[in-house]
Amino acid sequence: MNTVLSESSSLIIYLDKVSHTRPEEISFRIHQRLKVAVSQPAAVSVYEYYDQAPCVKFYHPERQNMKLCKNDECICVEATCNMQKRYRSSTDERTVKICESSRTDFAYKATVEETEFESSADSYIMRIVMVIKEGPTDTNVQGKLRTFLSHQHCRHALNLEKGKTYLIMGSSKDIYRDDQNQMFLYVLGERPWIEYWPSDAECQTEEHRSTCEGMEEMIDHYISFACLN
């Protein structure tokens, strides 16, 4: 256990070497001392000792269901968190995602304009700046505001910031219609693709240039070929 190298208690395992020809499996036991209503997902980070750019995946001890509520509308969803894509994604990865017919019905460039953090759910009110792929459920959304919901305990993993823009790709299964308030609610569970979309100024820097070029390539490919390949 190490409480100095981490924001919270962590188990840090050092490996002298990792095989490139066979998978490695590491096992250890964790004992729960206090019973809680919703246990938090654990982030497992793998990185090279001298290059701490981690590959991160969240693990949950068991599948749980929770309710996300906005006004009087409640949605029963899994408690598994989504994690914003912090690693450098490739154009091919984005193109594969947008063309997943069973998992991706919509793709938006969206800017967070307001955040509302409540006990029942975290709400991110986003303006749809660009519709890259329009789904069958919610149409004519370009330039309009939409509400995206997430669990309160997923706030750190999701890491959405007010004023920042993101690429969001997801399924119509994650869109719910609130008939009473005549609005659509998008659930940011574990399935949607969420990736930071750099600003125009950031796109001129070395750090973000490849990301911006990759996103533009993905859009051009989708518009030109519409997943036929």
pLDDT value, residue 38: 55
Q: What span, in angstroms and rounded, lies between the C-alpha atoms of 120 and 60?
A: 20
Q: What percentage of the chain exceeds 70 in pLDDT?
A: 78
Hey, which bits of the chain come out as E strands? 42-48, 51-59, 65-70, 73-78, 106-117, 122-133, 145-150, 165-170, 175-178, 183-187, 193-197
Residue 24 has pLDDT above 70, yes or no: yes
pTM, rounded to two decimals: 0.68
Paired strand residues for 185: 147, 176
pLDDT in tens, 68-82: 666 555 655 555 666
Q: Is residue 198 over pLDDT 70?
A: yes
Mean pLDDT of the chain: 82
Give the pLDDT of residue 46: 84
CATH topology assigned to domain 65-225: OB fold (Dihydrolipoamide Acetyltransferase, E2P) (2.40.50)
Q: Please state the domain extents for the chain.
A: 65-225
Residue 3's pLDDT band (cuts 50, 70, 90): low
pLDDT-above-90 percentage for the chain: 34
Q: pLDDT grade, residue 124 (50/70/90)?
A: very high
Q: Cα(93)–Cα(18) distance, rounded to whole angstroms? A: 25
What is the per-residue pLDDT for 72?
59
